[in-house]
A and B are shown apart, each in its own frame.
Chain A
Amino acid sequence: MAARREFRILGMTPGEIWRGFVSTTTGKIALAFFSIMVAFSIYALVALPPNFGNLWNTPSYWQANPKYAPPAWINFFAGDAYAPQMAVRDFNFTAGSSGGVGYAVIQFAVDDSYAHPWRNLYVIVRSPAVYNASTVAYLTVERPDGKTVQLGPVSVNSQFVALGLSPQIISQVNSFYQSNFGVQNAVPAGSSAIPYLFYTARGGDLVPLKGTYRFTITMYSFSGSTVLNRKDLGVVLEGEVYGLMGTDFLGHDLWLGLLAGFPIDLAVGILTAAIVVTLAILIGIVAAFYGGLVDEVLTRITDFFILLPAFPLLIVFSVLFQWSIWDAIVFLAAVSWGGSARVIRAMVMQIKSSQFIESALAAGAGRGWILRNHILPMVMPYTLYLFVVNVPGGILTLSAINFFNLAGAELPTWGNILAYADEFGALTSGYWWWVVPPGLLITFVAVTFIFVAMGLEPVVNPRLRHA
């Protein structure tokens, strides 16, 4: 009887396909890139909260972040000049109440070694019970030069209390400089007062004072009951630099935004390619296989779609119908199958006239038999190739549409981030961290799929294969 049947695709075992794919350098690079992409996508899906899209579009969520802050790692090149964003977690906390007044004391220390100190200090209150309960906060800063700054009271009446911009605190800092160093109006108008806590005056100029600063924030709540809990309170020092990828105009953490782009761009590309290839197979095979009038009509339709200016139409329809990114994908795929269908039609035409089809026909095979046993097995590997080739096109086009701030998704896409970068003049203002990474990532994904396609070539093309 027949030898044990191995599982084979195109006469190759999965092992052979694997070896064929990784035998070329292109294949190895493709595999590495693809793994990186998939890993990031999975990480993004796991690490980002499920409502990340909502959070992204909620400006108040990003309120404590610096705006237009470069990534923190530029300190590596700039010699630790910029104070990074700092959420203070390990503070001392005592709370209690006396005489119907609840109080809480938060104490922490920071080491300042930066030429550009923190921009602002936020008291974050996570419970509405606190900021609805007529709470005030005092801030005491013990400086490395032994001087102490007393600030407050500031009323704590919202979730984010930015101390630096309160007029009262600005005037208190000014008077601190007035009385200690004799400097008038140390804080320029419209600027936050917090950085000036970290300066000293030397010969009339303000220079950074490095060393350890001890902060004490005392809060009083006059609502009567004790509502001040440690878990409801937080302190954030707004940095000059932020995180891995910096921030944009709203203080969005761009790292998270870029991360969210991975799964969505992958989905965009794969969905587009899947629809394109399905339509192309159907139309290509039907046209070539049935021939005659069917072929003529389908070929004309194919020509029409090849000539259709998909991108301008996509722009117009996106504006007219307020399309989401998924609508745009379906439209894009529905108009861009032409080229692939033509390739498949040509392929089936060639296969159809080959001798083994003639023999099968002579042996009495019907259309279904020939389609199933001869044509589909020969076309399938190429469709895999077409699929991979169609992915980058989808991603690039949808990124372009997103760049025009059209066809938005719930999640931020790279094209979307670029759109805002463009709108807020990132290029002219030198916010490179806002422009370069999304641009590179779009390129990276497109290149990955092109490499995968090139790596697949020896696998799907029997002529490039050695027996």
Chain B
Amino acid sequence: MTMALLDVRNLRLYYQTTKGILKALDGVSFELEEGETLAVVGETGSGKSTLAKAITRVWERNVSLVDGEIYFEGEEVLHMPEDRFRREIRWRKIAMVPQASMNALNPVITIGEQMIEPLVLSGVPKGEALRLAQDSLESVGLPRDVVARYPHQLSGGMKQRVVIAMAVMTRPKLLILDEPTSALDVMTQANIMNLLKELKARLKLTYIFITHDLALASELADSVAVMYAGKLAEIGSSEDMYGAPAHPYTQGLMASMPTLRTDKQLAYIPGEVPSLIDPPRGCRFHPRCPYFAKDKALKGLCDDMEPPAFELKPWTGRRHLAACWLYK
């Protein structure tokens, strides 16, 4: 097996809040091959965005613990000095399209000024930075003169393209997309998805695509990771995940997805995402788990011990892992 582009091992990120320690990420591990698109799905508060923040190292100020390892191209980047990370990795190799890109642009300065900001800050001459920005805008299908416009003169889809252009401006290898289409209408969403596909092919990008929309994820993803309460519940290739979801939570998610042809009763998972400050003992999903509720034999196991990731037999080349005692 070749060396993975990104190798996350036992990543933990805790926040200090007034109510206690919030375990936003608690032991997340996965690998990502070059050229792969990994969709990270999960409910609100499951730690998806925190994962993106951890990989780009832009966590909030009240962080209390950052632990684990992240290898990017074989090099540990999580504990690298911030200065070096900023100069060599962030934006240059790992770029991020932030959530709610409507708000990612300063309304009172021009698109050009915002796009070149990170370049200018890292010492690139302004003229060259501006040319890069224009090239980048062109590559996402926007006219070059958008650099002179202000955010309020652009539509939502155009703003999203600008944010994507900002991210790919420095030709990164890994692009983290944090709900890139969440506030857009369906047509614009489709446009952006097509753009992302096209960019991926042209620029040989690797994506981490964070979304709560499973249907949208299926559009782009080679593999899917399902997060639940700060942990990875299941990860595997799209074929495995959509075809044979193993973890009860994944199954619940899949069942809640509407389909066009078949007239099925939409299922939902009762209960809600547990508190990350005081998560349930054992498997974090067990209070909502239908198997746990039915099967008396699981008592004393699921509600007592955290399940490790069990290897399942995959259909395709990618490893299929599920953190569930059912697969012991």
Q: Please list the residues of chain A having a beta carbon within 8 angstroms of any beta carbon in chain B.
A: 1-3, 5-6, 8, 10-11, 354-356, 358-365, 369, 373-374, 377-378, 381, 462, 465, 467
For B117, what are the chain A residues with a Cβ–Cβ distance below 8 Å? 359-360, 363, 365, 373
24 pairs from A and B in contact (CB 8 Å cutoff): A1-B131, A2-B112, A5-B148, A10-B108, A11-B152, A11-B153, A354-B103, A354-B106, A355-B98, A356-B103, A356-B114, A358-B58, A359-B98, A361-B58, A363-B90, A363-B121, A363-B122, A365-B117, A373-B113, A373-B117, A378-B106, A378-B107, A378-B108, A465-B152
Question: Which residue on B lies nearest to A11, using beta carbons?
Answer: B150
Cα–Cα, bound, A454→B130 (Å): 38
Are A2 and B108 interface neighbours, CB within 8 A? no
Bound CA span A360–B104, Å: 11
Kindly report which residue of chain B lies nearest to residue A291, judged by CB atoms: B61
Residues of B within 8 A of A8 (CB): 150
| In the complex, chain B residues whose CB is within 8 Å of the CB of A1 | 127, 130-131
B314 on interface, CB distance cutoff 8 Å: no
B86 contacts partner chain A, Cβ-Cβ < 8 Å: yes
Nearest CB of B to A25, in Å: 24
Q: Which residue of A lies closest to B112 (CB)?
A: A2
Interface residues of B (CB under 8 A from A): 56-58, 86, 90-91, 98, 100, 103-110, 112-114, 117-118, 121-122, 127, 130-131, 134, 145, 147-150, 152-154
Question: Which residue of the partner chain B has the closest CB to A465?
Answer: B152
Contact of A373 with B109 in the complex, beta carbons under 8 Å: yes
Residues of chain A within 8 A (CB-CB) of B130 are 1-2
Contacts of B112 in A (CB 8 A): 2
Minimum CB–CB distance from A10 to chain B (whole Å) comes to 5
Residues of A within 8 A of B113 (CB): 373
A358-B105 Cα distance, complex, nearest whole Å: 11
Which residues from chain B contact A354 at a C-beta distance below 8 Å?
A: 103, 106
Q: How far is the CB of A356 from chain B (nearest CB, A)?
A: 4
CA gap between A378 and B103 in the complex, in Å: 14
- CB-CB under 8 A from B104, the residues of chain A are 355-356, 359
Could you say which of A2, A369, A377 contacts B121, with CB atoms under 8 Å apart? A369
Residues on the B chain within 8 Å of A5, using CB: 148
What is the chain B residue whose CB lies nearest that of A9?
A: B108
- How long is the Cα–Cα vector from A5 to B107 in the complex, in angstroms? 17
Residues in B with CB closer than 8 Å to A359 are 98, 104, 117-118
Residues on A with beta carbons closer than 8 Å to the beta carbon of B145: 2-3
How far does the alpha carbon of A334 sit from the alpha carbon of B109 in the complex, in Å?
33
Q: Say how far A200's CB is from chain B's closest CB, in angstroms.
A: 80
**Interfacial chain B residues near A10, Cβ < 8 Å:** 108, 150
Contact residues in B for A381 (Cβ distance below 8 Å): 108
- CA separation between A8 and B153, bound complex, in Å? 13
- Neighbouring B residues of A369 by C-beta, 8 Å: 121
Check if A374 sits within 8 Å of B107, measured CB to CB. Answer: no
Q: State whether B106 touches A374 (Cβ < 8 A).
A: yes
Q: Establish whether residues B98 and A2, one from each chain, have CB atoms under 8 Å apart when the complex forms.
A: no
